[in-house]
Amino acid sequence: MPSDTSHVYELNHALGAHHLSRLRSVDTSPAEFRQHVHTLSTLLIAEVTRNFNTEPCHVTTPLETISGEQLAGRIAAVPILRAGLGMVTPLTDLIPDIEIWHLGLYRDEDTAQPVRYYDKLPPDNPTSVALVLDPMLATGGSASAAIETLKKWGVPKICMASIISAPEGIERLTTEYPDVPVYTCVIDSHLNDQKFIVPGLGDAGDRIFNTLG
């Protein structure tokens, strides 16, 4: 049965296209790369949070008191270590009170399967919303493991945010978790034999943290 892609949102923005082009280039330095990740993440998170629940509040301006709105409930960012860390700062800029919970997952290069090495989620008291962050949604293995962990924690609303996605990763998430919307700046062509996204940008973690050797 084909997956339901009605909850897949691809960013369609001139600034997004511009920064993606620079992000992909082999000539982009690590410092520039981090800045493009920051900008693209900001654009993407603005879309992810567009319809988040709000609650009424009262605001006193220099002239009078008016009714306003504020975000409701507790919101968590869950970056998949290590590359997901590059997407955290835009969230703390936009939502200063956001909670940051880390999940450490790496891809076994022989099996292309995720291996968990770090998990500090508390056993109870889940947040109202959790945003899973990973610049690259390739096979979907790490994202699937993260979403499953958050569901076991009891998070009622989960969103996936990725800068570049492969059709294979989207297919997996929408099949396994049809209730989890996927937000991405772009959907690329395919995965190659090494399970890297094509045309992609190489290894996001290495380029963010300048560990290409």
What pLDDT, on a 0 to 100 scale, did the predictor assign at position 120? 77
Residues annotated as catalytic are 107, 111, 203, 206
| Of 43-47, 72-76, 103-107, 168-172, minimum mean pLDDT range | 103-107
What pLDDT, on a 0 to 100 scale, did the predictor assign at position 82? 85
Q: What does the CA dihedral 142, 144, 149, 151 come to, rounded to 10 degrees?
A: 160
One-character DSSP codes across 84-137: GGGGHHHHHHH-TT-EE--EEEEE-TTT--EEEEEE---SS---SEEEEE-SEE
d(CA 102, CA 120): 7
At 101, the pLDDT band (50, 70, 90 cuts) reads very high
What pLDDT, on a 0 to 100 scale, did the predictor assign at position 124? 86
pTM over 0.85: yes
Tokens linked to 212: 């290409």
- Asked: is 8-205 a CATH 3.10.20.310 domain? The reply is no
Mean pLDDT in residue range 101-113: 72
Roughly what angle, to the nearest 10 degrees, separates helices 14-24 and 30-48?
150
7-62 per-position pLDDT tens digit? 999 999 999 999 999 999 999 999 999 999 999 999 999 999 999 999 999 999 99
